[in-house]
Amino acid sequence: MSQIKILFVCMGNICRSPTAEGVFTHLVKQRGTHDRFMIDSAGTHAYHVGEQPDTRAQQTARQRGIDLSYIRARKFAYSDFEMFDHILAMDSDNYAILVEACPDKYKDKIKLFLDFAPGRSERDVPDPYYGGQNGFEHVFDLVEDASQGFYSSITN
């Protein structure tokens, strides 16, 4: 069986998308299905290439039993359109950037991540970079909800 390849995308790949990568990786490990997935994250901009996730994102994740320290920021590559089965944008701005750059034959792979968060009215995972710790907590909550919903949507 081939792996399901998932890419989470935000702007700089140091807050939201690595949080989603870490949370989803943790989820599939808990469910015993980690070997069925290839999970990665990237940014639409190259501001932080090679850096670890923001220390506040790492702290929030660590407090909830998830390690993000292995993740390094990278910029989204054109080849990602072909490589990944699901490209999940953290917000509508990054969604628009991806759709604009994407060849028509791959556009159906791109989705807003929060479209998979049942019971949530938000469409965008807000960027917590310039805010306080509460912003990172809120992002984590949103990502957990969307991860559960997305997992259910691809495994049922």
What is the reported pTM? 0.97
- Give the residue numbers annotated as catalytic, written as ranges: 10, 16, 127
Give tens-digit pLDDT for 54-101. 999 999 999 999 999 999 999 999 999 999 999 999 999 999 999 999
pLDDT band at 156; cut points 50, 70, 90: confident
| pLDDT value of position 118 | 87
Q: How many domains does the chain have?
A: 1
CATH number at 30 reads 3.40.50.2300
Residue 1: what pLDDT?
Answer: 67
For residue 119, give its domain range.
4-155
Phi/psi region, residue 95 (left: phi>0; alpha: psi -120 to 50; beta: rest), is alpha
pLDDT at position 36 over 80: yes
